[in-house]
């Protein structure tokens, strides 16, 4: 009989967001009159920028015309898009990243998981706690961990707690780790990293031959001009970091799908025989074999993000969600709750009141306010006692949700 990848059996229950959806659906079925407001999964609600829609419509017309029709595109993405990204997102900020180092993909979630294809199984892997669950679960699937322990941590992973005490920025580990996942602005805590903090990570990685997986999916929300948007703004990062970016949260592409991964050509890791191997070559080989690129239409839509109109429209979207985050922070603070984040990112991280567990607070909010958030413990053991509220929703829903929380939880 065929056998399975037994590592999947080590995974805890469900992936966090489907598990929330399951509980919410059960509640909605039992309470059909409840008007639920979902501030759980970080999914955008505002429509695509007009510049992107116009570009995609034009691309559809091209695809319907024999003279401009396109079949397979380059697996790495069209050069006209990669050039714009390199110039605008990196070179304009002083980062030495060239178009050929940018790989267009259908999502950062996929890429942060798929990247493990090209790394060995003997790496010591560090994640923050709490953490975006995809980093952990994909390592479990790849066989890079042992079993789950009672509190939910997996044997074999190095967990770096991020809490209010360390301002939600992981301390540099005293032990040697090979692969490190960092996400700034942070999902789920909304925390940011200064240049000095990232420099300390890059120095650590270079000293230990480690590689940093830097998830910058939320960089567009940075409003503090002193904060770095890219790890490549940090000296030495080209030799020790891979960066993941997305059009999902800035231009609203969660349902459209377009992202990018930067693999500098100077980045190397060891083969089993001790030789140095260029990571770019492996990722290029992996993508050329397992991926056929993002659709031409979607890449034209992503390209329009860099037009003057597109830039202004994306800025409008970001300001809109940041204003939502401000309302959430202010209202929850006025309700007597301790809140973090939500200034340079779309997530507000809340200390649960009266010592409630994360899932108990989830149930209370759902039942008493018909508001859905995300339990902090779903992001890791150190997230217990916290709760994440997403700013991705309409103004009306955010205001309504905050009013309901104020009424029930004001102390
Ligand atoms: C989240 O809510 O953490 C995000 O939506 C997850 C994602 O972007 O995949």
- Residue 190 pLDDT class (50, 70, 90 cuts): very high
Does 255 reside within a domain?
A: yes
Mean per-residue pLDDT for 165-178? 93
Q: Among residues 267, 293, 308, which one ends one of the domains?
A: 308
Judge whether 58 lies within some domain: yes
Q: Is the same domain home to 297 and 362?
A: no
Residue among 21, 43, 375, 388 whose CB has most ligand 1 atoms within 8 A, to mutate:
43
C-beta of 42 in contact with ligand 1 (< 6 A): yes
pLDDT, position 13:
66
For residues 42-78, b (16+ Cβ closer than 10 Å) or e, as one string?
Answer: bebbeebbebbebbbeebeeeeeeeeeeeeebebbbb
What is the predicted pLDDT for the residue at 14? 66
Instruction: Report the pLDDT averaged over residues 247-271.
Output: 98
For ligand 1, is residue 187 a contact (CB within 6 Å)? yes
Question: Are 247 and 373 in the same domain?
Answer: no
Q: Find the helix or strand (DSSP H, E) in which 102 lies.
A: strand 102-105
Q: Averaged over 157-173, what is the pLDDT?
A: 93
Q: Is 41 in the pocket of ligand 1 (CB under 6 A)?
A: yes
What pLDDT sits at residue 19?
Answer: 80
Residue 77 within a domain: yes
Same domain, residue pair 56 and 183 = yes
In this structure, the answer to whether residues 121 and 231 fall within a common structural domain is: yes
Looking at the 3D structure of the chain, how many domains does it have?
2
Rounded Cα–Cα distance for residues 98 and 85 (Å): 9
Cα–Cα distances in Å, from 80 out to 1, 94, 306?
Answer: 49, 20, 11
Residue nearest to atom 8 of ligand 1 (CA): 42
Helices assigned H by DSSP within 209-307: 279-290, 296-303
Instruction: Say if residue 15's pLDDT is above 70.
Output: no
Please compute the mean of the pLDDT values over residues 202-211 and round it to a whole number. Answer: 98
From 18, 106, 187, the mutation candidate for ligand 1 (largest count of ligand atoms within 8 A of CB) is: 187
User: Are residues 395 and 294 located together in one domain of the fold?
Assistant: no
Residue 16 confidence (pLDDT)? 80
pTM for the whole structure = 0.96
Same domain (yes/no): 195, 319: no
332 lies in some domain: yes
Boundary residue ending a domain (290, 308, 326): 308
For atom 4 of ligand 1, the residue with the nearest CA is: 42
User: Does residue 1 sit within a domain?
Assistant: no
Q: Are residues 301 and 329 in the same domain?
A: no
Hey, how many other C-beta atoms are within 10 angstroms of the C-beta on 279? Answer: 19
Full domain range(s) for residue 259: 52-308
Q: What's the CATH number where 251 sits?
A: 3.40.640.10
Q: 330-351 b/e with 16+ CB inside 10 Å = b?
A: ebbeebebebbbbbbbbbbbbb
Instruction: Evaluate: CB of 346 within 6 angstroms of ligand 1.
Output: no
Helix-strand-coil percent breakdown of the chain, rounded to 5? 45, 15, 40
Do 380 and 337 fall within a single domain? yes
- Gap from CA of 123 to ligand 1 centroid (Å): 26
Q: Has residue 354 been placed in a domain?
A: yes
Q: Is residue 172 part of a domain?
A: yes
Whether residue 63 is found in the same domain as residue 200: yes
Of 15, 16, 17, the one to substitute when testing ligand 1's pocket (max ligand atoms within 8 A of C-beta) is 17
Question: Is the shortest distance between the CB of 245 and ligand 1 below 6 Å?
Answer: no
The answer to whether residues 170 and 266 belong to one domain is yes
In whole angstroms, give the CA distance from residue 247 to residue 225: 21
Whether the CB of 189 sits within 6 Å of ligand 1: no
Average of pLDDT values for 81-110? Answer: 98
What percent of the chain has a predicted confidence (pLDDT) above 90?
Answer: 93
Domain assignment present for 76: yes
Q: What is the pLDDT of residue 151?
A: 79
- Which atom number of ligand 1 is nearest to the Cα of residue 248? 8
pLDDT digits (tens, 9 = 90+) for 47-82: 999 999 999 999 999 999 999 999 999 999 999 999
Closest residue by Cα to residue 351 from 362, 337, 341: 337
Whether ligand 1 lies within 6 angstroms of the CB of 200 is answered as no
Looking at the structure, do residues 185 and 270 belong to the same domain, yes or no? yes
Q: Are residues 40 and 133 in the same domain?
A: no
User: Would you state the pLDDT for residue 17?
Assistant: 81
Contact 332, 403 (CB under 8 A): no
pLDDT, tens digit, for every residue of 227-250?
Answer: 999 999 999 999 999 999 999 999
Which among 276, 308, 340 is the end of a domain?
308
Regarding the beta carbon of 109 and ligand 1, being less than 6 Å apart is answered yes
CATH number of domain containing 358? 3.90.1150.10
Which amino acid residue places its CA nearest to atom 1 of ligand 1?
42
Average pLDDT over residues 87-100: 98
């Amino acid at each position: 009989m065929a056998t399975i990848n037994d590592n999947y059996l080590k995974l805890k229950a469900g992936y966090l967001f489907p598990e929330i959806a399951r509980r919410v659906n059960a509640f909605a079925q039992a309470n059909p009159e409840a008007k639920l407001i979902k501030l759980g999964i970080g999914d955008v609600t505002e429509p695509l920028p007009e510049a992107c829609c116009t570009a995609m419509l034009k691309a559809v017309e091209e695809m319907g015309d024999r003279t401009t029709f396109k079949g397979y595109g380059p697996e790495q993405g069209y050069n006209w898009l990669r050039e714009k990204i390199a110039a605008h997102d990196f070179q304009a900020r002083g980062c030495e990243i060239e178009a050929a180092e940018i790989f267009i993909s259908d999502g950062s979630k996929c890429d942060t998981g798929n990247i493990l294809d090209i790394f060995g199984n003997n790496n010591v892997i560090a994640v923050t706690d709490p953490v975006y669950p995809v980093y952990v679960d994909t390592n479990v699937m790849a066989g890079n961990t042992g079993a789950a322990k009672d509190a939910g941590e997996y044997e074999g992973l190095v967990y770096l707690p991020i809490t209010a005490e360390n301002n939600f920025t992981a301390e540099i580990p005293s032990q040697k780790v090979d692969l490190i996942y960092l996400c700034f602005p942070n999902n789920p805590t909304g925390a940011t990293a200064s240049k000095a903090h990232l420099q300390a990570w890059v120095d650590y990685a270079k000293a230990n031959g480690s590689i940093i997986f830097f998830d910058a999916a939320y960089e567009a929300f940075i409003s503090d001009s002193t904060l770095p948007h890219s790890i490549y703004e940090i000296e030495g990062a080209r030799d020790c970091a891979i960066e993941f970016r997305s059009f999902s949260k800035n231009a609203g592409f969660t349902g459209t799908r377009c992202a990018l991964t930067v693999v500098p050509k100077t980045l190397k890791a060891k083969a089993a025989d001790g030789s140095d191997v260029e990571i770019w070559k492996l990722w290029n080989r992996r993508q050329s074999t397992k991926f056929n690129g993002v659709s031409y239409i979607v890449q034209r839509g992503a390209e329009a993000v860099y037009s003057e109109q597109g830039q202004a429209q994306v800025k409008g979207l970001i300001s809109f969600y940041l204003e939502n985050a401000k309302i959430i922070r202010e209202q929850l603070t006025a309700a007597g709750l301790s809140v973090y984040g939500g200034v340079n990112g779309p997530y507000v991280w809340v200390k649960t009141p009266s010592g409630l567990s994360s899932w108990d607070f989830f149930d209370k909010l759902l039942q008493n306010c018909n508001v859905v958030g995300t339990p902090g413990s779903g992001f890791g053991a150190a997230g217990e006692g916290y709760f994440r509220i997403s700013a991705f929703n309409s103004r009306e829903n955010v205001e309504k949700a905050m009013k309901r929380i104020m009424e029930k939880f004001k102390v």
